[in-house]
Structure 1
Amino acid sequence: MASKTSTWNTKADLVPLEKDKAKELRARISKIKQAEVLRPGAVFVGHIPHGFFEPQVKRFFSQFGTVSRVRLARSKKTGGPKGYGYIEFECEEVAKVVAETMNNYLMFEKLLKCEFIPTERLHPKTFHGSNRKFLKPTRRSTAIRKHNKPKDAAATLQSAMRLASKNLGRKRKYAALGLNYDFSGYDDMAKKAKLQAASIVTPKVPKSEEEVKTTKQEPATLLLDSSDPEISFKTPPGVSKVKKIKKAAKKQT
């Protein structure tokens, strides 16, 4: 039995539309008059089922009109599709009809979400890289990109301190064996990283007297009635307790 990916390459396995849907769509597209200068139109497609990749999307939507470009959103780390993408048709009117007709169309237990996107709203890099085959990133390329990523001052300081700490442990091991090991390269690197990190930290500006007065608030007070010992109050932080003592009633003479 052939795999699912290989069967998509044959025309017989193209997913057809429902008869009523296909008839309505083709009738609306046939009414569109072909202009001398065609203006392209883009359609946003969401809720794309898994396994429906760029070649399948292009072949499926090509039955409605000429598809110029297709680009699906993919993860930069794994290369897996995110379930949405953009399709550019050669004719803008065809794109509008497809977006209106194919919206909420059930495909592989998912409702397609289609919306026409005007050219003015499209980002210049929406179809960037759509003319070449997508290659999934390998572990090697991911590791190289992560290793060569420029580090900030905090990451540089952390790396330098880690190397200096390992070098100190190495010195102690060699000293216990009676070997003279003196290498101060990592220590100098750590000192340089500390100076660089300290120069980036902005000093705190002291507040003025007016700001200190406005921000300083008097602590709240909580009145406690000591006449009823069964009731206990939990004092919130920053609140001072003040006991309220009731005077005993004078005896009548």
Structure 2
Amino acid sequence: MRIWALPPLVLLVLTGCVTQPVPPDRPVAPFKPFVLDPRALARRLASIQPGWPRSRKFDCARVKCVALTFDDGPGRYTGKLLDLLRKRDVRATFFVVGQMVAEDRGGRITRRIADEGHELGNHSWSHPSLPGLSHEQLEHQLRRTESIVLRLTGIRMRMMRPPYGATDEKVAAEARREGLAQIMWNVDTLDWRDRVASVVAKRAGRATPGSIVLLHDIHASTVDAVPEILDTLGKKGFTFVTVSELYGRRPEPGRMYTER
């Protein structure tokens, strides 16, 4: 396992995840709270908290594991992606943007992600570069997304991915206060740039045991690449796991992880 410590006042900008940020003044459809029946909520919490997502207890020190991660959703193609993953009994990790969750028709897709055994992570509210924000703005970006996901699903997220992979000591400190590990990647498919399914699949196929693969479920070409990704890595003997399953435990808040 590789754990990166953040040097003071150093901005780390990794390639990839460079989807355009959501403008701060972007109009957001009025959010209609979804209210669960109290008994249904109690069952959800009992089954999910505090050990959500429930690990299938793979030993990724011995098994060839790979974690597929999807950023910037939920979007119009996320439902199709979930259909593909369910058909193949594959679990993934979704780093969601709060504004996209708010536009998710009462949280239908967001709840489905959790209900089908996938992992949810915090990808900020509107996808800005976090190091450039004030403390209050940074706190707002993480807490507002945390709040809406908790309200819709009953789940408190345990990890985050800074937009653009941009982080520094300030971001790490805030993530630690919020109880969120910083999850990066070591395989960048560049699917935001090259919208060709075969190209995306080829890059994802370069994963090695312990890899975290960066993908974006807001692109149709990425979703179209998923069957080939699963076939390619499956033939190589890989087991598809969530980020938490990859490490076999909850990653430490504030720390940055790129691969096992």
Give the TM-score of the pair, scaled to structure 1: 0.21
- Please identify the structure whose Cα radius of gyration is greater: 1
Q: Which structure has more RCO (C-alpha within 8 Å, separation ≥ 6)?
A: 2
Give the TM-score of the pair, scaled to structure 2: 0.21
